[in-house]
Structure 1
Amino acid sequence: MSRLVEMALPQKATICEVAPRDGFQAEPAWIPTEEKIRIVRELAKTGIQSMEITSFVHPRAIPQLKDAEEVVRSIQDLTNIKFRALVPNVKGAQRAIDAGITKLKLMLSATDSHSLSNANCLVEEAQNGFSPIIELAEKHGVKVGGSISVAFGCPYEGKVPLERIATIVDRYTTMGIEEVSLADTTGMANPKQVFEMLGQLKASFPQMTFSMHLHNTRGMALSNAVAALQQGITHFDSSIAGLGGCPYAPGASGNIATEDLVHAFAEMGIETGINLNTLIDVAKDVKQSIGHDGGSYMLQAGPCSQLHAKPKNQEKIEQ
């Protein structure tokens, strides 16, 4: 008789809310600046402690985020949340720093095909261009984190070899980067792949902090999150109401919904510091404001704790 082996998982996890950047950027209809700010403030009431609030890209690239400065300057009083912003170049980094951002996230693809589509340059060119951004950040006492989009699968090139990811992480290490986000941008990852890649990356780069940015394009985001947990990963990105999607990746859909991730972690006894009921209320509000959700299970079925009244006056059906 086989023995049941207890799954060893972390007791706590940190969830970074990315809807104000990744979620909003995918919306074709303009979201008024004051509405973006209102949603950020509502999210702040849930216990979320980390948020990717916007991207300082050129307004022509992503018109939805052309109000980045105004949004950032309007939430400086929310000191209980660590805000970060995505930046593509030195100009974007300077804009972010001037607006009050204290943590930058670098924008990089795992494959040349996606990089050419997303940044109009090859991967090595893009990464070599990070040095001025890092120098500027150091000058202003601003932290910098790295990222790798399509880290597990590219819609143009297919599955990404571990060796390519390791090479990129190694370059990040030489630049002094201590934190790298691995993004499953189009939901092509599977749990076995996630578990094995993280295991090898952690062994090769023990000082690096890895985080997961998961999209639920093919319904495997939560399974991939559990695989990451099994490797001791405790930092995850998610988006309220499952909003999101990369404009430069065909078929990309929303991120794993924050309320779904918080619910799943709570059911497994993993503390996030986020109030699930308040979060679900905000998700409902965001869905109404935006006009849709990206596939949130909590908005469809509610949490497991939400029980229903027992049926009354049931007649026994004879078989």
Structure 2
Amino acid sequence: DCRVTAHYDGGDHTIFVGEVVEARINKAQERPLLYYNRSWQRSEPLNQLRLPQNVTMVEVGPRDGLQTLKKYVPVEQKIHIINQLVAAGLKRIQVTSFVHPKLVPQMADAEEVCASLTAVEGVQYNGLVLNMRGLERAHKAGLKHVDMGVPASEALSQRNANSSIAEGMARMADMVKQARDWGMSVRAGVQTAFGCVYEGAIPLERVVELSRQFLAMGIDELSIADSSGMGNPQQVRQMMQTLRPLAGDIPVVLHLHDTRGMGVANTLAALECGIQQFDSSFGGLGGCPFIEGAKGNIATEDTIFMMHEMGIQTGLDSGRLSQLSREMEDFLGQELPGKIYQLGLS
């Protein structure tokens, strides 16, 4: 017997979300039946996790990692960081954000950073844009890939943008259309998806509805962010199991923070759901300047160390990443949040 907690109309199909209340399984066939692709089929054995063989890491250190630092990082050093990330094997790097320089002074040099980038075959540079003005700047700076989103928290939306979530989504629709007209690829999604320090718990249904609206806009990737670092593995598992069927062929990317020490556990929960793209920051640098206490992205070195130990391939050189984090530690004069870089493990 099952208890249905939610259902979503998928056009020619309906997705039900719930839990098994009671089940009787033939001892000779210990794999339970699941109904998908219009037929009943046996699931994989419950005691055998099916983890992805390969994972793509999206490095957000040059943007999310640096944006809250009080010490200014010169353009030359930012480019050095980006080049070192490329040398370590990163193919997806968020290099800057196009925001008002008074709000995030560290990103005031966005155009100069973009002008100094070295084109490398197979490497994708992207920038964060919050509004149409930011999108226009990214386009003029020559970026072909942009990242955008809205918070699932009404309180945060009013606090930061002085507008409702609905108004923010209307802006997103215009921005996605304009970016597409300019030939740019768009990653868009939901911020504070697992909770907000100003509002508290965020209903799963709200995240699902916002995701559905983004997918209808024709985005290339759906991003789900734990901006406040409030998520737990159970939440992550439930949300990813709900969103992946909705997204279909559109990749779901998870952006996690380690504010409360849940980063690695949440990453594992997502891997168990088949998620294959994660944002991370070298050395665990990062945090949102607009959310109180939202410190620390998951550290790239820590995350890929776990994956490599579990036989998951990332194509990244842990040694090079750790060296970069040690350089940053020397520059800042303080220890970074990451753990693996301090141990010299690779």
TM-score above 0.5: yes
Unaligned 5+ segments in structure 2 are 1-29, 31-44
Mapped pair 1:97 → 2:139? yes
**CA shift at 1:281, angstroms?**
1.1
Query: 22-31 or 133-142: which moved more?
Result: 133-142
Contact 1:16 1:51 in 2 (8 A): yes
Q: Could you list the structure 1 runs, at least 4 aligned residues long, displaced by more than 6 angstroms after superposition.
A: none
Q: Which has the higher strand share?
A: 2
Mapped pair 1:300 → 2:342? yes
Residue 77 of structure 2, aligned match among 35, 43, 55: 35
Q: Residues 138, 4 of structure 1: CA spacing in aligned structure 2 closer, same or farther, 3 A cutoff?
A: closer
- Look up the match of 1:106: 148
- Look up the match of 1:153: 195
Query: 12-21 or 280-289: which moved more?
Result: 280-289
- Look up the match of 1:238: 280
**Distance in 2 separating the partners of 1:119 and 1:50:** 28
**Distance in 2 separating the partners of 1:284 and 1:154:** 32
Contact 1:254 1:294 in 2 (8 A): no
Counterpart code for 1:162: L
Q: Residues 4, 231 of structure 1: CA spacing in aligned structure 2 closer, same or farther, 3 A cutoff?
A: closer
Counterpart code for 2:98: F
Where does 1:1-319 land on structure 2 (aligned, <5 Å)? 5-303=47-345
**CA shift at 1:293, angstroms?**
4.2
Deviations 1:145-183 (A, max 9, x none): 112111101111112111100110111122112411111
CA RMSD of aligned residues (A): 1.7
**CA shift at 1:28, angstroms?**
1.4
**CA shift at 1:258, angstroms?**
0.6
TM-score normalised over the length of structure 2 = 0.84
Query: 109-118 or 75-84: which moved more?
Result: 75-84
**What is the DSSP-based 3-state SS (H/G/I as helix, E as strand, rest coil) of the residue aligned with 2:66?**
helix
Query: 283-292 or 236-245: which moved more?
Result: 283-292
**Distance in 2 separating the partners of 1:81 and 1:291:** 31
Deviations 1:26-72 (A, max 9, x none): 11121111111111111111001111111011111211100001101
Deviations 1:203-244 (A, max 9, x none): 333343211111101111010001000110000000011100
